[in-house]
Amino acid sequence: MASIQRSAASSGSEGGDPALIDDRKRKRMLSNRESARRSRMRKQKVLQDLTEEVYQLQTSNMEITQSIKTKEDSYLKMESANNILRAQTMELSDRLHSLNSIIEMAEKVNGNGSFNVFPIEMPQISDPFMNPWPLYYPFHPLMASPDMSLH
C-alpha cells in the first residue's frame, strides 16, 4: 500500500507542494533538453565521421581503380610483346628445322659428310647490282699532271 501512496504523491495529482513539483519538472525538462542536445551532437559527430570515411574510401577506391587500369595496360602490352616473341620463336624454329633438313639431305647426297651441297659445279652468274663500279682498267693508274692545278 505504501508504494501506491508514494506513486500517487509523486505524480503530482494529489497533494504535494506545487512549487516543488514545478521545480522537479523544470529540472527534468532541462535535463531532457541537455540529453537531447548531447544526443544530437553525437549523431552529428557520427555523421561527420562517416562522411569523412566515405570521402577517404572513395579516394582510395579511385587510386586502386587507377592502379588496376595501369596494371591492366601493362599486362596487355606485355602479353602483346610475348605473343610477338612466341611467333618469332615459332618462325625461327621452323627455319632451323628447314635448315637442318637441308643439311641432312646434303650429307646424304655427298655421302662423306662434307658440306658441298651441289655435286656439280654451278656457273657463276654475274650480277651488275652486286658490283656497281667495276674497274675496267685496273692496271692503268691515274697520274696527276702539273697542268691540272692551273685550270
Summarize pLDDT for 99-142 with one digit per residue, the tens. Answer: 988 888 877 876 655 555 455 555 565 655 555 555 555 555 55
* Chain segment 29-53, per-residue pLDDT in tens: 999 999 999 999 999 999 999 999 9
pLDDT recorded at residue 20: 80
Distances (CA, A) of 53 to 47, 48, 50: 10, 9, 5
Q: Is the pTM of this model over 0.75?
A: no
Question: What is the band of 85 on the pLDDT scale with cuts at 50, 70, 90?
Answer: very high
- 113 backbone φψ class: left, alpha, beta (φ>0; ψ -120 to 50): left
Q: Residue 88: pLDDT above 90?
A: yes
- 16 backbone φψ class: left, alpha, beta (φ>0; ψ -120 to 50): left
Question: What is the band of 69 on the pLDDT scale with cuts at 50, 70, 90?
Answer: very high
pLDDT recorded at residue 9: 46
Which uninterrupted H or E stretch holds 27?
helix 18-110
Q: Scanning the structure block, which residue is given the C-alpha cell 625461327? A: 92
pLDDT recorded at residue 59: 97
Q: Residue 12: pLDDT above 50?
A: no
**How is 113-133 classified by DSSP, letter by letter?**
------SSPPPPPP-TTTSSS
Question: What is the band of 150 on the pLDDT scale with cuts at 50, 70, 90?
Answer: low
CA dist 146 and 151 (Å) reads: 10
For the stretch 9-46, what's the b/e string if a residue is b when 16 or more beta carbons lie within 10 angstroms of its beta carbon? eeeeeeeeeeeeeeeeeeeeeeeeeeeeeeeeeeeeee
